[in-house]
């Protein structure tokens, strides 16, 4: 039998199991055997579209059980899965398809018209998920392709300081090792039922939630979107939930969140964005549960976690996970003592091998010694708990989605009448941070914020578009000419209060 490092351990070993894997409110109910069979036939459908091991599949589809089976099919066929946020516009898609050299772009019927020309431009095929699913119904299971631990399983695009997204390459072992570590750290077993309400095009919903479920043989209640009512309704049948902080603040706003409602749950995990200590405490007051906060990244999967047994400290992201090294360093990359702030670096089997086709960018962030520079600023306590105190990278995290200001600034600067702009995040009660832009007009011009907003519609995903745009005379700059974003953040701090 051929060995496929990720597929065998996550999916293949369950092939004969009638244990439940996934239930969706639409009535879908898959056992593990159903899921493995679906994946095998979808892999057959992919093969009939000419896909070979190593080929990239770009997938931009609404959350659906078949989209998860397509991920498993991609592992099985030895392809490289490239999930894309459904909020991305065709203009954004262009870069992902072109840069990755994807052989196939999978979309939904309502986006086919916009996606097909992008795929055509780069010689990629286009298929809807529904069409692939129909093909799968009649397809023979594709053979399991051989995949070694270091072979690529996925590429996830993550934006960068240049405004151009970089493809973070993830190997079979990056995914598998992290799933095994998290399953143990968070005590997942076959008895667990996870509420899965995250999108499945980013690390949190696709890898953390799904791979931990698969690694433990647990089952999931698979919601197609986040809806607090539906989550509360699912809780009596569930044991665990994973979410971004907005999941928790919105549930706290719901009168149905009580001790009784959460009584059968054993674990609430938060990550992808900072959780305020006050949210953590409010949750404990209301439910009696202590949220378990963890810290990760697209490039590294999960790095640290508060302990399952032991002190889950609000405002911290806990301790390095087993097998993962974490250090906080100064400008010369020398570790600083506990209590001092510095750059967080991580090393371990979870850390990616580099960015797709960007060896120089990779070398800047990932040294030959294996330490990856996260761009996050942190401080370690005497007893090893990590707190994230800021970011060196210019990044806004809104509702758990990352927005790189440079990309938004470039889009604004291209508009008529705009001389320059600055984009930054300020506190937002629902999304954690909200995106704000200030623009400086060219001499004699008077750009209209509504027109600017309209101009960004087709260019940037909705969540990247500034919720507030102000026209100002000049950007505040320091003596070196660098825009002082801290001053802007302070000036516009109350934008969403």
* Interacting residues toward ligand AMP by CB under 6 A: 158, 203, 271-274, 293, 295-298, 317, 374, 376, 388, 391, 397, 402
Contact flag: residue 398 with ligand MLC (CB under 6 A): yes
Nearer to ligand MLC, 45 or 194 (CB): 194
Rounded to a whole number of angstroms, the minimum distance from the CB of residue 390 to ligand AMP is 9
Count of residues in contact with ligand MLC, rule CB under 6 A = 21
Backbone torsions φ then ψ of 3, nearest 5 degrees: -95, 130
Nearest of 147, 181, 163, 161 to residue 300 by alpha carbon: 181
Rounded to a whole number of angstroms, the minimum distance from the CB of residue 143 to ligand MLC is 32
- Compute the distance between CA of residue 117 and CA of residue 113 in angstroms, rounded to an integer: 7
Nearer to ligand AMP, 23 or 204 (CB): 204
Contact flag: residue 65 with ligand MLC (CB under 6 A): no
Q: Which residue has the tokens 């209060």?
A: 497
Q: Are 175 and 207 in contact (CB under 8 A)?
A: yes
Q: Report strand pairing: 342-347 vs 372-380.
A: antiparallel
Contact flag: residue 272 with ligand MLC (CB under 6 A): yes
Rounded to a whole number of angstroms, the minimum distance from the CB of residue 345 to ligand AMP is 12
77, 141, 199, 425: residue in contact with ligand MLC (rule CB under 6 A): 199
- Compute the distance between CA of residue 370 and CA of residue 325 in angstroms, rounded to an integer: 10
5, 14, 202, 313: residue in contact with ligand MLC (rule CB under 6 A): 202
Nearer to ligand AMP, 55 or 365 (CB): 365
Nearest of 267, 270, 154 to residue 202 by alpha carbon: 154
Nearer to ligand MLC, 42 or 206 (CB): 206
Residue 293 touches which member of ligand AMP, ligand MLC, none, C-beta under 5-8 Å by kind: ligand AMP
Per the document, the length of the chain is 497
Coil, helix or strand at residue 338: coil
- Stretch of 7-15, 144-152, 214-222, 398-406 contacting ligand MLC, by CB under 6 A: 398-406
Rounded to a whole number of angstroms, the minimum distance from the CB of residue 68 to ligand MLC is 15
Coil, helix or strand at residue 252: helix
Residue 462 touches which member of ligand AMP, ligand MLC, none, C-beta under 5-8 Å by kind: ligand MLC
| Positions in 204-243 near ligand MLC (CB under 6 A) | 204-205, 226
Helix axes 32-48, 129-138, angle to 10 degrees: 100
Backbone torsions φ then ψ of 121, nearest 5 degrees: -55, -30
Rounded to a whole number of angstroms, the minimum distance from the CB of residue 182 to ligand MLC is 12
Contact flag: residue 378 with ligand MLC (CB under 6 A): no
SS3 content of the chain, % helix, strand, coil (to 5): 35, 25, 40
- Stretch of 58-66, 358-366, 371-379, 397-405 contacting ligand MLC, by CB under 6 A: 397-405
| Positions in 139-178 near ligand MLC (CB under 6 A) | none
Largest separation between any pair of C-alpha atoms in the chain: 72
User: 14's torsion region: left (phi>0), alpha (psi -120 to 50) or beta?
Assistant: alpha
Residue 211 touches which member of ligand AMP, ligand MLC, none, C-beta under 5-8 Å by kind: none
Binding mask 423-452 for ligand MLC (x = CB under 6 A): --------x---------------------
- Compute the distance between CA of residue 413 and CA of residue 436 in angstroms, rounded to an integer: 15
Rounded to a whole number of angstroms, the minimum distance from the CB of residue 299 to ligand AMP is 7
82, 118, 297, 321: residue in contact with ligand MLC (rule CB under 6 A): 297
Nearest of 302, 310, 345, 307 to residue 325 by alpha carbon: 345
Rounded to a whole number of angstroms, the minimum distance from the CB of residue 319 to ligand MLC is 16
Structure token pair of residue 38: 């679906």
Q: Are 398 and 429 in contact (CB under 8 A)?
A: no
List the alpha helices (DSSP H) in 377-459. 405-413, 449-456
C-alpha dist (Å) from residue 324 to 56, 113, 208, 298, 370: 29, 44, 16, 15, 11
Residue 432 touches which member of ligand MLC, ligand AMP, none, C-beta under 5-8 Å by kind: none
Residue nearest to ligand AMP (CB): 298
Nearer to ligand AMP, 205 or 271 (CB): 271
Q: Enumerate binding residues for ligand MLC (CB under 6 A).
A: 198-199, 202-205, 226, 244, 246, 271-272, 296-298, 398-401, 431, 462-463
């Amino acid at each position: 039998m051929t060995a496929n490092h990720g597929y065998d351990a996550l999916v293949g070993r369950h092939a004969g199991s009638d244990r439940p894997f996934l239930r969706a409110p639409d009535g879908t109910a898959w056992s593990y055997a159903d899921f493995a069979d679906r994946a095998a036939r979808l892999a057959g459908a992919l093969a009939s579209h000419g896909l070979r091991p190593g080929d990239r599949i770009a997938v931009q589809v609404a959350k659906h059980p078949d989209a998860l089976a397509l991920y498993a099919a991609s592992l099985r066929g030895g392809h490289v899965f490239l999930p894309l946020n459904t909020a991305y516009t065709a203009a954004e898609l262009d870069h992902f398809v072109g840069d990755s050299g994807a052989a196939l772009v999978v979309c939904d019927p309502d986006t086919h018209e916009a996606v097909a020309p992008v795929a055509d431009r780069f010689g990629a095929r286009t298929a809807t998920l529904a069409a692939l699913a129909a093909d799968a119904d009649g397809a023979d299971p594709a053979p399991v392709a051989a995949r070694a631990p270091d072979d690529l399983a996925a590429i996830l695009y993550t934006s960068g300081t240049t405004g151009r997204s970089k493809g973070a390459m993830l190997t079979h072992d990056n995914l598998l090792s992290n799933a095994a570590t998290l399953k143990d750290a968070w005590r997942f077993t076959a008895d667990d039922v996870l509420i899965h309400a995250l999108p499945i095009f980013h690390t949190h919903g696709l890898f953390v939630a799904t791979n931990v479920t698969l690694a433990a043989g647990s089952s999931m209640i698979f919601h197609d979107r986040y809806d607090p009512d539906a989550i509360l309704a699912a809780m009596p049948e569930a044991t665990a939930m994973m979410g971004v902080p907005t999941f928790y603040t919105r549930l706290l706003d719901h009168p149905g969140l009580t001790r009784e409602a959460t009584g059968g749950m054993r674990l609430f995990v938060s990550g992808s964005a900072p959780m305020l200590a006050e949210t953590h405490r409010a949750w404990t007051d209301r439910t009696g549960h202590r949220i378990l906060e963890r810290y990760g990244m697209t490039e590294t999967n999960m790095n640290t976690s508060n302990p399952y047994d032991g002190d889950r400290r609000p405002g911290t992201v806990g301790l390095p996970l087993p097998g993962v090294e974490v250090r906080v360093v100064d400008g010369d990359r020398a570790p600083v003592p506990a209590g001092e702030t510095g750059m967080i670096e991580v090393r371990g089997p979870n850390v990616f091998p580099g960015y797709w086709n960007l060896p120089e960018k990779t070398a800047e962030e990932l040294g030959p010694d294996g330490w990856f520079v996260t761009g996050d600023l942190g401080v370690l306590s005497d007893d090893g708990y990590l707190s994230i105190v800021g970011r060196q990278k210019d990044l806004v995290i809104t509702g758990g989605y990352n927005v790189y200001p440079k990309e938004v600034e470039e889009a604004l600067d291209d508009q008529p009448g705009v001389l320059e702009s600055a984009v930054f995040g300020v506190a937002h009660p629902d999304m954690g941070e909200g995106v704000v832009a200030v623009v400086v007009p060219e001499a004699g011009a008077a750009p209209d914020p509504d027109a600017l907003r309209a101009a960004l519609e087709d260019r940037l995903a909705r969540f990247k578009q500034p919720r507030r745009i102000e026209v100002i005379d000049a950007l505040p700059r320091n003596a070196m000419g660098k825009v002082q974003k801290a001053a802007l953040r302070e000036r516009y701090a109350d934008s969403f209060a």
